[in-house]
Amino acid sequence: MSKNYNPGEASPLEPAPQPVHREPQSPSGATQSQPLPVDFGYDDEHPLLKIPYSVTVAGQRYAGDSISLMQIHAQATEGGMLGNGTRHIAIINFAFESFVLSLHPEVMVISEDVQGKSVFQFTDPTGGHLPQLRYIVNSHIGGDFVSVDGMISYTGPSAPKKPKGEARGHSLMNRVRSLGVAALSVLLIVVAGSVLLQRYSTSYEMHPVFVERAGQKMRATAAGQISYLNPNAAKGEVLYSVNANTGNVLNFTMPCDCEVVVTKGISDGTTVLQTDLILTIYVNTSLIRAQTLMSIEGLNRAMNGDQVHMDLNDGRSIPVEVIASEATTAASLRGDVFVPVELVSEEGALTTKDIGKSARLRLSKGLLGL
């Protein structure tokens, strides 16, 4: 039984003819199976689709008529006949708006005529070209391809849809990530604002603060050499003498029966300059004082109401009041950048245990400079 079949058309609605196998009729021999049509593909042949494409086989160019995952139906535009049953590497080009997709499968010629109509069959339908070809075919069936003048335009989604459960999980994860980023941003803004506020409102003096016992300091009133030194002198006795460079001998008497501490490096015969500290007389051993060199700018801020704190090296912060003495005024009038000042704290804030400790002087003002 014969049946006409045009290879340029889609697969017929009726099922493809199956090979017929006849059992031997007699012991003398058996009949052979009927040969398959030359344009027959496979039992699971896919439908031929009208997708714009071009194909080149062995240097010959063809205009694509239809294509499936198994066969190519094309019309030769130039060149001769290749011969049925021959195998070649085909170059299939799908022209999109701004690029061309090329596939290079191996095909076999299963039908061709003098008018140029040819049918090619993929020798390996599951080869490396299958994923791209199957995507194009499925997109065409789904209506995602629009063809205009032989050009293909993709109108489908740019990414495959995710399952609802996965999409919901990603949405929750993105929300948590967004909240985390927002919280981190707020934290960074708060930290940056705090740093800027601290730099604007707070400053530290360069010189350290020294905590020591309060006493009467005895200094050289003229440059010269110490000729006599008696730390154990009683009240009214000569405490020390200085042979001045002018030739005069300057004697200093003990003002009270008090404790005397000689400055390190001072002894009989030591050369001193004017204002050099020779010794200190302690009238009350429980009195504590703090002194330092303060910048003119810092002194102005303290005089204008800025809060002054003494940050000790043990972690305590003690509010103090800056006291300008005659030495402060004299140094300021001389144009000194740093002037000596005394720091007075609340009673009991400093004890004898704090003697010898160092501290930093911190000045701060309110947010609005008040």
Residues in Cβ contact with 91 at an 8 Å cutoff, skipping those fewer than 6 apart: 55, 56, 57, 102, 103, 104
Residues in Cβ contact with 136 at an 8 Å cutoff, skipping those fewer than 6 apart: 51, 94, 101, 145
- The rounded distance, in Å, linking the Cα atoms of 368 and 9 is 87
CB 258 within 8 A of CB 283: yes
Helical (H) or strand (E) element with 303: helix 296-303
- At residue 120, the pLDDT reads 92
362 φ, ψ (degrees, to nearest 5):
-115, 130
Residue 217 burial class via C-beta count within 10 angstroms: exposed 0-12, middle 13-18, buried 19 and up = exposed
Q: State the sign of the Cα–Cα–Cα–Cα dihedral 229, 232, 235, 236.
A: negative
CB 133 within 8 A of CB 69: yes
- At residue 215, the pLDDT reads 78
- At residue 225, the pLDDT reads 93
CB 71 within 8 A of CB 120: yes
- At residue 159, the pLDDT reads 57
- At residue 16, the pLDDT reads 45
Residue 103: name the closest of 158, 53, 40 by CA: 53
- The rounded distance, in Å, linking the Cα atoms of 356 and 231 is 22
- The rounded distance, in Å, linking the Cα atoms of 141 and 50 is 10
10-residue mean pLDDT profile of the chain (370 residues): values are 43 45 45 51 67 89 90 86 90 86 92 88 90 87 69 62 59 86 90 76 86 82 92 90 91 87 89 89 76 90 88 88 88 89 85 83 70
- At residue 176, the pLDDT reads 87
- At residue 34, the pLDDT reads 53
Question: Considering the entire predicted model, what is its pTM?
Answer: 0.39
Three-state DSSP class for residue 336: coil
- At residue 41, the pLDDT reads 47
CB 243 within 8 A of CB 222: no
- At residue 31, the pLDDT reads 47
- The label of the residue with tokens 């740019």 reads 158
- At residue 55, the pLDDT reads 92
- At residue 271, the pLDDT reads 92
DSSP secondary structure string for all residues of 75-105: EEEES----TT-EEEEEEEEEBSS-EEEE--
- At residue 168, the pLDDT reads 64
CB 240 within 8 A of CB 228: yes
